[in-house]
Amino acid sequence: MLLHVPHAGVGVPGWARRHLLPDDEALAAEQAALTDHLTDRIALRASAVAAVAPWVVVNRVSRFVVDPERFPDEREEMAAVGMAAVYTHGTRGQRIRADDADHRAALLAAYYTTWADTVARLVDARLAATGRAVLIDLHSYPSAPLPYELHADGPRPPVCLGTDPAHTPPELTAAARRAFAQVGGAATDSPFGGTYVPARHHGTDRRVRSIMVELRRDGHMVEPAGPVTGGFAVAAAALAALVDAVTS
C-alpha cells in the first residue's frame, strides 16, 4: 500500500522561481488556489492510525515548478490550457512562464523523472515483497470551479474517486465508497478522472492497482488556504479505513 501525495508541496527553488513571471503576491495566490492543502497531513495521520501502516510519498515541490501527475507532452489534455507537466499558464489562463525548451528540459530532469522513478521503485518493492501493489492517489479540490478546469460542469461531490480501466478494479472502488461514506459520500470521475500509475506499469501490470481520492476542500479546511476544520480528522479516519479494507 502506497499513499501518493503529489500536490501538497509549495517549495519553489530559486533557479525555477526566476523563470516564473508572477510577482510574489500573485504566485502566492496561485498556490493558494491550486495546492492540495493538508493532503500530506491527512495521509500521515491515516498512516499513523491504520492497522497496517502504508508507505507515504509526499512531493514537497510546488506543482508550479513541475506537476509530476501530468504527461509532459501532447498526451496530456491539460496541455490545451498550458498546464501539462510544466505549466506555462495559471488558473485564470494567464501566462506564468515563457516558452523555454532548455529550462523545461531541466525541470523535467530534476523533478518529473526523479519523482516518477521514485514511485516506480516503491511500487516494484511492494510487488517483490507481496506480489501486488495498491496506490491511493490523494488530492483535494475546491468547492467552486477554477477557470482552468476542463470539466467544471460536472458534479462536485464531497469525495471524487478517479479510476483507470486497467488498474481500478470494482472492488477497490466499492471499498473507497464505503470508507468515504462518513465524509458525505463519493462519486466517480467527476469533476476529475483517472489515477496515477507509474508509466512503466501502466496498462501492462495488472498487479498494480490504483484509485484517486479527491477530497473537496470545504470538508476539511477553510478555503482557499485557511486552517483545518473538524472534517480533517474525519477525512483522515476515512482514508485509514480504506487502507485497512485493502490490506485486511
Kindly report, residue by residue over 13-23, the tens digit of the pLDDT.
999 999 999 99
39, 8 Cβ separation under 8 angstroms: yes
pTM higher than 0.85 for the full model?
yes
Max Cα distance, the chain (Å)? 49
pLDDT for 73: 87
pLDDT for 12: 98
Joined grid coordinates for residue 75: 498526451
Coil vs helix vs strand at 41: helix
Q: Find the CATH number of the domain harbouring 228.
A: 3.40.630.40
Distance CA 110, CA 113 (A): 7
pLDDT for 82: 97
Please count the structural domains in the chain: 1
Q: Which of 248, 241, 183 is nearest to 214 (CA)?
A: 183
**Which range marks the domain in which residue 133 is found?**
2-247
Distance CA 14, CA 145 (A): 31
**Low-confidence residues of the chain: pLDDT under 70:** none
pLDDT for 64: 98
